[in-house]
DNA sequence: TTAACTGCAAAGATTTTGCACACTC
DNA sequence: GAGTGTGCAAAATCTTTGCAGTTAA
């Protein structure tokens, strides 16, 4: 995983300014390696005594996404979530009972599916969403 | 695919009443074999001169879902979508340019992935979401 | 200095709730 | 008649926009 410093350096090189809010939000993603929604980010900041306006968080998320620092992850619950856009592509196991999120690596199999689709359909796949819902070891 | 009559019969047997609105909404799903959001349903009804309140549509969607007539499909755009819950499991190719939706059948490969996960993780998968985004033959 | 960033209030979009009335069975 | 279904208004959530003021470089 990229260090927070690497990320901030990358942002600086792309013309972003170093602000307190930006630093803290990047740190939140570093310290919580799972998809986060706006309110969850603000709550984590609040625990550290940092008060940020929700508009600012939404705008910072758009900004980090446009710089490819973070990417969308959708749990289908109507909230926008994002996580660090690292090298390791992974998907999620989401416990519908306790809401815990685990990572799972099945990217090779998904690429295989995409190749099959490319062969059979005249469709250029750019992206996919794949999340698994069920019960974790504690809840099942 | 089940006929509209089969569906209405099934609903009747499960205690649902036959109302004008329910009949029309089931027909919309029959005639549009792709995931639909609340407003899209109401627009299709409006074209037939049928005016239904949005609250009623939301409630009917919940009702049909609880009876397993329809199921959730999430395109990650913040809208709740549903489609008929037929025998053929399929996924979708969504053109990010023209918004066209195609079906694609890769359920066998997905089952294979789920089996792998069951072996490796102590997690009981109940459901998954899998959609592909990209450019269709016309837009690429 | 100046372009990027921030906060606040207000507006938008989607979905849900409460309540009175209507209709199916 | 009883209980399900419907419409309307209002509220609840989540997200975006406009604008004025602040800050990093």
Band of residue A24 on the pLDDT scale cut at 50, 70, 90 = very high
pTM value?
A: 0.93
Domain B4-84 has CATH 1.10.10.10: yes
Candidates B116, B126, B131; nearest CB to A96: B126
Query: In angstroms, how far is C12 C1' from B109 CA?
Result: 41
Structure tokens at A62: 């758009």
Q: In the predicted model, what is the mean pLDDT of residues A57-64?
A: 98
Nucleotides of D under 7 A from a protein CB: 3-10, 14-18, 23-25
Q: Helix A20-31 and helix A4-13: axis angle, to 10°? A: 140
- Kindly tell me if the per-residue pLDDT of A1 is higher than 80: no
Tell if the CB–CB gap between B132 and A128 is shorter than 8 Å. yes
Q: In the predicted model, what is the mean pLDDT of residues B61-69?
A: 97
Band of residue A4 on the pLDDT scale cut at 50, 70, 90 = confident
**H or E segment at A94?**
strand A91-95
CATH of A91-134, one of 3.30.1490.190, 3.40.50.11690, 3.40.630.10, 3.40.190.10: 3.30.1490.190
Burial class (CB in 10 A: 0-12, 13-18, 19+), B12: exposed
Query: In angstroms, how far is D17 C1' from A21 CA?
Result: 21
Residues of chain A with CATH 3.30.1490.190: 91-134
Cα gap A97→A111, rounded to integer Å: 30
A8 touches strand C (CB under 7 A): no
Strands in A81-84's sheet, in edge-to-edge order, are A36-37, A81-84, A70-73
């Amino acid at each position: 995983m990229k260090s927070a410093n690497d990320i901030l350096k990358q942002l600086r090189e792309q013309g972003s300014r170093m602000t307190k809010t930006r630093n803290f939000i990047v740190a939140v993603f570093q310290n919580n390696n799972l998809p986060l929604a706006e309110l969850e980010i603000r709550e984590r900041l609040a625990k550290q005594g940092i008060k940020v306006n929700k508009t600012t968080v939404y705008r910072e998320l758009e900004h980090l996404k446009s710089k490819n620092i973070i990417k969308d992850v959708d749990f289908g619950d109507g909230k926008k979530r994002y996580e660090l856009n690292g090298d390791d592509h992974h998907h999620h196991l989401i416990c519908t009972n306790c809401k815990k999120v685990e990572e799972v690596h099945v990217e090779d199999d998904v690429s295989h599916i995409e190749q099959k689709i490319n062969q059979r359909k005249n469709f250029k796949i750019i992206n996919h969403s794949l999340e698994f819902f069920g019960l974790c070891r504690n809840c099942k």
